[in-house]
Amino acid sequence: MSALSGVRVLDISQVLAGPYAAMLLADLGADVIKIEAPGHGDHSRQMAPRVADNVSGAYLAVNRNKRGVSVNLKDERGRELVRRLAENADIVIENFRPGVAARLGIDFETLSVANPRLIHCSISGFGQTGPYSARGGFDLVAQGMTGLMSITGEPDGPPVKCGVPITDLTAGLFATYGILAALAARERTGVGQQVDASLFEAGLGLEVWESVEYFHTGVTSRPTGSAHRLGAPYQAFRCADGHFTVGADGDRHWPRFCEVIGRPDLPADPRFATNTERLANLAALVAEIEERTVTRKRDDWLALLEAAGIPAGPIHTVPEALEDPHTRARGMVVDIEHATLGPLKALGPAVKLSDTPASVRTAAPDLGQHTDEVFGELGLGAADLAELRDAKVIA
């Protein structure tokens, strides 16, 4: 039994935030039906990296555990098929610009008439209301407009975006959080509701410390490189063969760290006696620390720091992180079988449930792979499907 066994989801979204949210639900056992346009399908199918001539790694990454249907939403018969699927669905996820779903007749107001229990999630760039609601949703733009880029990078450097599409992925996470809350509420009320998530609000929602700094002190947060804006030392330091990270800002760890690096005098220095002083004199603090850390290699320091109980770690490349024995022990790299490509590797579920665990069962579907299967469940026979295919309503 999976956590979401028996829950059906229609995924009418593409590229990242919506498909990511739907994939998280699929990992938990939901029956997710991915609805794509005939011919080109989800835009991510055309994106890099190419795993094979006609297969995109970007598409594979966020569409596993789904059944794939190809239907033409520009045709009223195609839209009617989707509405019929929605009558027996629990959740619909779409990421059209606000207003498009209503024009297609697959918005919450329309679909909930036939299915009052339906939970309808709309993911957009700026939400369903407000002066920017009609704008498209792009992670880079959202990172800039929410202030994330203004606090990322090195001090006095140019604006830098996060290394991952953080507002896209977080919008998907927040959408999933809203959907699961709506499912819980439906258990009490018997009716569904609209879930409205956006890249813009996802970016703002991550600024928990930066917002309180501004609200209560009037200070505008600035980039701090790898350093923490509220504690020091808590950042990356140079060593003889690169960098490593240390979190020694607490009163317990700070003097112990100084002992390890051979500078037991630093806690008595008035510039570094408290966390407040250390933050105020961060450049001087880093210089004093790195005078010692550059004398030894990373792994030597990490062994000493671990023995002393001080939080520290290497700065891995992505391949190093994926090959790390702890990554593998936690099931974060899994093997999966693709219908045409054969065995592939994928990221495993990031949350572990003891009784109803998430799992990776099937690879992302080929375009329209399950069209006949899914619409056959509506009672359409072979002749009906052939007629719709000849009319280019399905593919």
Q: What are the chain's domains?
A: 8-206+327-390 (3.40.50.10540), 234-315 (3.30.1540.10)
Alpha helices in the chain (DSSP H): 17-27, 57-62, 76-87, 100-104, 108-114, 139-145, 166-189, 199-205, 208-217, 253-260, 275-280, 282-293, 298-307, 318-323, 325-329, 371-376, 382-390
DSSP state for residue 394 in the 8-state scheme: B
**In DSSP terms, which residues pair with 243 in a beta bridge?**
238
**In whole angstroms, what is the distance from residue 178 CA to residue 173 CA?**
9
What is the mean pLDDT of each successive set of 10 residues along the chain, which is 395 residues long? 96 98 98 96 95 91 98 98 98 97 98 98 98 97 98 96 98 98 98 98 98 96 96 98 97 97 98 97 98 98 98 98 98 94 95 97 96 97 97 97
**In whole angstroms, what is the distance from residue 96 CA to residue 109 CA?**
15
- pLDDT of 174: 98
- Report in angstroms the alpha-carbon separations of 244 from 149, 201, 303, 311: 24, 33, 12, 11
Q: How many CB atoms lie within 10 A of CB 247?
A: 17
- pLDDT of 285: 98
**In DSSP terms, which residues pair with 335 in a beta bridge?**
345
- pLDDT of 226: 97
DSSP 143-210: HHHTTTGGGSSSTTS-----SS-HHHHHHHHHHHHHHHHHHHHHHHHS---EEEEEHHHHHHHT-HHH
- pLDDT of 53: 81
Known catalytic residue: 300?
A: no
Residue 26 CB partners (closer than 8 Å, separation 6+):
9, 32, 64, 65, 66
Cis amide bond preceding 49, omega within 30? yes
The active-site residue out of 168, 300, 335, 384 is 168
pLDDT digits (tens, 9 = 90+) for 191-240: 999 999 999 999 999 999 999 999 999 999 999 999 999 999 999 999 99
pLDDT digits (tens, 9 = 90+) for 104-122: 999 999 999 999 999 999 9
